[in-house]
Amino acid sequence: MLYLLDTANITEIKKAYDLYPIAGVTTNPTIIAKEKSDFLAKVLEIRSLIGEQAMLHVQALGRTSEQIVAEADYLRQKVGGNLYVKVPVIPEGIKAMKLLKQNGIKLTATAIFTPQQALMAAVAGADFVAPYVNRLDNVCGDGTSVVGEIVQLFELYGLPSKVLAASFKSVEQVHKVSLYGGHAITASPDIIEQLLKHPLTDTSVEQFIRDWEGVYGAGKVISNI
């Protein structure tokens, strides 16, 4: 399982990177716009913070394959590093994926709501496909089952594409995606933080410290007794 952060907020990225095993950052136009800053400066700031090796997924906005290809070239030149260009699974997006794959650009097919969209994107050359779990759940769909079916299809056809599940609002959604064998998730830092939360963990840790400090003294840890 790879954990990615679905945010362009520098403070949030710094905090989550410090604590958790984060493989990279995903953005989309909404996430970038939320920061209300210069687009390229923001993306470069993220790149410089996470390093050249970390995955950085940045979305193209073009409505035609020509525009999407031009955006991908721009991003490759200006951002570089381990970059994935996100392309929505509209027909022109699929056409752009075929062209970009030939040019060696790494691709994340996005705005995916059905297994067949994911399958076609994978055949067109997407390295990752990003199904939106919570947005499906919100309209009485079953987002995690869609992830499961995509994983199944990729295995069935021996496709090398990976599932980067996105759009989460609960730990349960992340849990089901992992049970289905989703390869990666991207979520907001608060969801990543929630994955570790359990009141019994907190009370257990507090009890350990109370028992230890009762004998070895307040503030003492193994390295300073």
Active site residues: 86
Does position 167 interact with ligand G3P (CB under 6 A)? The reply is yes
Does position 28 interact with ligand G3P (CB under 6 A)? The reply is yes
Query: Which residue number places its CB atom closest to ligand G3P?
Result: 167
Shortest reach from residue 206's CB to ligand G3P, in Å? 33
d(CA 96, CA 65) in angstroms, rounded, equals 5
Shortest reach from residue 48's CB to ligand G3P, in Å? 22
d(CA 172, CA 72) in angstroms, rounded, equals 35
Q: Using an 8 Å Cβ cutoff, are 85 and 60 in contact?
A: yes
Shortest reach from residue 96's CB to ligand G3P, in Å? 18
| Strand ranges, E, within 89-189 | 107-112, 128-131, 162-165, 184-187
- Complex with ligand G3P: residue 47 or 86, whichever CB lies closer: 86
Size of the site for ligand G3P (CB under 6 A): 9
| Strand ranges, E, within 90-196 | 107-112, 128-131, 162-165, 184-187
Does position 173 interact with ligand G3P (CB under 6 A)? The reply is no
- Complex with ligand G3P: residue 128 or 154, whichever CB lies closer: 128
Amino acid, single-letter form, for residue 130 = A
Does position 7 interact with ligand G3P (CB under 6 A)? The reply is no
- Complex with ligand G3P: residue 26 or 161, whichever CB lies closer: 26
* Phi, psi (degrees; rounded to nearest 5) at 144: -75, -30
- Interaction residues for ligand G3P, span 115-154 (CB under 6 A): 132, 134-135
d(CA 222, CA 141) in angstroms, rounded, equals 51
User: 111-116 contacts: CB < 8 A, separation 24 or more?
Assistant: 112/150, 113/141, 113/146, 114/146, 115/146, 115/149, 115/150, 115/153
d(CA 168, CA 172) in angstroms, rounded, equals 9
Does position 108 interact with ligand G3P (CB under 6 A)? The reply is no
Binding test (CB under 6 A) with ligand G3P, winner from 109, 119, 150, 166: 166
- Complex with ligand G3P: residue 30 or 53, whichever CB lies closer: 30
Does position 6 interact with ligand G3P (CB under 6 A)? The reply is yes
Does position 101 interact with ligand G3P (CB under 6 A)? The reply is no
What are 4's strand-pairing partners?
24, 186
Q: Which residues bind ligand G3P (CB under 6 A)?
A: 6, 26, 28, 132, 134-135, 166-167, 186
